[in-house]
Chain A
Amino acid sequence: MTIQNSNDEQTHPSGDERYSSIDRTMKQFEYEKDSLLEVLNAAQEVFGYLSRDLLIYISNQLNVPMSQVFGVATFYHMFTFEPQGEHNCIICKGTACHVKGADRIIEALSEEFSIAAGETTSDGLFSLTIARCLGSCGLAPVIVLDGQVYGKETPEAASMRAVEAVSRSKEKIAQSMEVG
């Protein structure tokens, strides 16, 4: 039995509603095999990362071999296969940011959270991501912390912002534990 189902409303047995948004994208492209990249883009956006189950689902729905789905997904940098941390700090490593000291910001954050670039802390609270170029070179060096852009950034300020964000989450967790 395949996962495919004629009833559009309940395509995925898990009942996870996020799948229906991917179904919409596939439907829009009439389940064309060529739409694989678009579908993966939609999936990454909705789920935040591409799990194995998700890739199998897309492979089945588009009738594209899993090897090809995996091949395409791993080729492009924007797809991730692990969940991201609750807080995400993207550091631009474009030429302008490099010249203006992006490396020092990366070092400062790696040291602060004891993770390398591209990793997530073991408590799942913080991810450190490197971007090729965010295209705000006039503001170099640039970081993006939880969607908010900070230009002309220093290692100290970046560390402080990230530590603050993470400690807010830690406090929340502690509070909920107390209440519980």
Chain B
Amino acid sequence: MNFNTLLDIGQKELARQKKYQRRIFCCTSTACLSAGAGQVHTTLDQAVAACKCDEYEAEVVKTGCMGLCSDGPLVRVEEQEKDPILYGNINPDLAQHIVSRHVPLGELEEDTDSEEQDQSVTPHDIIHYRASLRRAQTKKDLDNNIISLDLPFFTKQVKVVLNETGRINPDKLEDYLAHGGYKALAHVLDKMTPEEVCNEILESDLRGRGGAGFPTGLKWNYVRQESAENKFVIVNGDEGDPGAYMDRTVMEDDPHRVLEGMMICAYAVGASYGYLYIRGEYPIAVDRIRKAIRAARQRKILGNSVLEKNFSFDADVRIGAGAFVCGEETALIHSVEGKRGMPRMRPPYPSKSGLWDAPTVINNVETMANVPSIINKGAEWYASIGTEKSKGTKVFALAGQLRNTGLIEVPMGITLREIVYDIGGGIPGDREFKAAQTGGPSGGCIPAEYLDSPVDYESLTKLGSIMGSGGLVIIDDSTNMPDFANFFMDFCVDESCGKCIPCRVGTVQIRKLLDKINAGEGKPEDLEKLDKLCQLVKKTSLCGLGQSAPNPVLSTMKYFQNEYDSLIQPSQTFEGGAS
């Protein structure tokens, strides 16, 4: 199938969507599903069916994340020539109210019974529904559930990766095509050489969104220059940081975008097969990516001669089984090969010798999801967003002690203050902001005095934290920092793969010291010991897990020294005791 045929499919879908007077979008991302969105979606569907109005009066669309997860389940109504309305905290009851408020009731025909063949709704259900819809019309309490789209939570964001999430049905390839899907791939295959693609990405200054921030274009170029029969592309969806769910959301809600980015990468480096390595705890993401792969194969987007061009590529899913260390690229490769996910010494880097010793590109989900937009809008456009050294946007999973929590995408260089107080809406209750934790167990805590520093790779590293993959947890003054540091150390002890001694033994000893200090039994020299040990583990561990494991301890010791000091027993002196 060539791209013009796909374009037609997209246009047809767009025309079909435009026929509807109103479209009711229901978020079915993991967070909203946890809050009961499944039932809300069913109710919306049944209520609209029960209205018996003209076919094009309303359509219920199952979408991905709309961002404000703390107010889920979310429902957005877009009526023609009207501003969209977002409703939060919707339950099945309120879902009926939404339908009664927006969708007109049609005439109930006498002989409906005979026409109801394929419906899951019986005529009795319909009568029941219509009665409750009429009752709902008289109630006004839905107003309390309206969330203003003018809130800074929405207006301060810049959407690149999340542009279509919450707007399209992730299970429908046609919907992605209607929103310009696979246009970038077609353009690349048609008009650009692999070298040009690598250069375009290099010029955009896109850096790895997994945390380390290595320039993506450079990585691709290394692999492109390797002459090998087989090359591979791996998308790293093993998002193991507690408090981070950006990659899951992109895979769940816009799976074709990830596939498209992956295919552009494959073309640029000369790979013909790829794997999406997805965390086992993400069944919905696995399911939706698999569906996307099947749909893409059906339309001949994946397979031999992609879009009738001289390029073949296919992809498969590999499921991780719960090991944080598999986020490290060499460990991930071992896991894809069906082995224990342990890292190895680098060099050789995967770009030279990766999966089954073939040159391999490994990029994080979010990195790949940026690629189609860069191709479509140009490297210059992308590089115009962000700071001098960190370009583009970053998706964060905003969580913790905040009014608004959820998934946000912000331009690089935005200040922490803007994220916490404008987007996050500040700290609830009469509590005060204490620290922002970025980068999960590999990152650190940033205290209030640095609220005005920009969020980019360099600034965060300078503050002793890291950008990380995008977990951003805000903590208030009710949290005790030495205990918080211990929480992360607990995690690292559990997740250390055991291959190198500094990490395997060092993390355990750090935790022992922290336990001692937290129990109020620490001596002044223990703090010194703790610091030395942290430096040692940081400098001598084999992989990123060990090298960054002490960060939560070091950063809390640096900024909240007084909390550690207050737990320390003063050294015993001889005054008074001597006779």
- Seen from chain A, the residues whose Cβ lies within 8 Å of a Cβ on chain B are 33-38, 40-41, 44, 68, 71-72, 75-79, 93-96, 98-100, 131-140, 142, 149, 151
Contacts and interface: CB of A to CB of B under 8 A. Distances in A.
Contact of A135 (B68, B280, B281, B479): B281
A135 B245 contact: yes
A76 B323 CA distance: 6
Interface in B393-432: 397, 399-401, 405-406
Contact of B321 (A33, A79, A140): A79
Contact of B473 (A33, A40, A44, A95): A95
B541 interface: no
Contact of B341 (A75, A93, A94, A99): A75
Closest 8 CB pairs of A and B: A138-B69, A76-B321, A77-B322, A137-B399, A94-B242, A95-B243, A135-B245, A96-B399
B282 interface: yes
Contact of B471 (A40, A71, A93, A95): A95
Interface stretch (B27-35, B151-159, B264-272): B27-35
Contacts of A98: 242, 487
Contact of B70 (A41, A131, A138, A149): A138
B242 A93 contact: yes
Contacts of A44: 321
A149 B324 contact: no
B319 interface: yes
B338 interface: yes
B337 interface: yes
A26 to B, nearest CB: 12
A77 B440 contact: no
Interface in B307-361: 318-324, 335-342
16 contacts: A37-B335, A37-B338, A38-B338, A72-B338, A76-B322, A78-B321, A78-B322, A79-B321, A99-B475, A99-B479, A132-B324, A132-B491, A133-B281, A134-B34, A135-B31, A135-B397
A117 B456 CA distance: 38
Contacts of B455: none
B323 A139 contact: no
Contact of A137 (B240, B335, B397): B397
A41 B475 contact: no
Nearest to A150: B34
B321 A96 contact: no
Nearest to A79: B321
B424 to A, nearest CB: 11
Q: Which residue, A133, A136, A151, has most C-beta atoms of chain B within 10 A?
A: A133
Given A94-B243, A132-B491, A149 B319 contact: no
A127 to B, nearest CB: 16
Given A95-B473, A99-B479, A133 B406 contact: no
Nearest to A75: B340
A95 B437 contact: yes
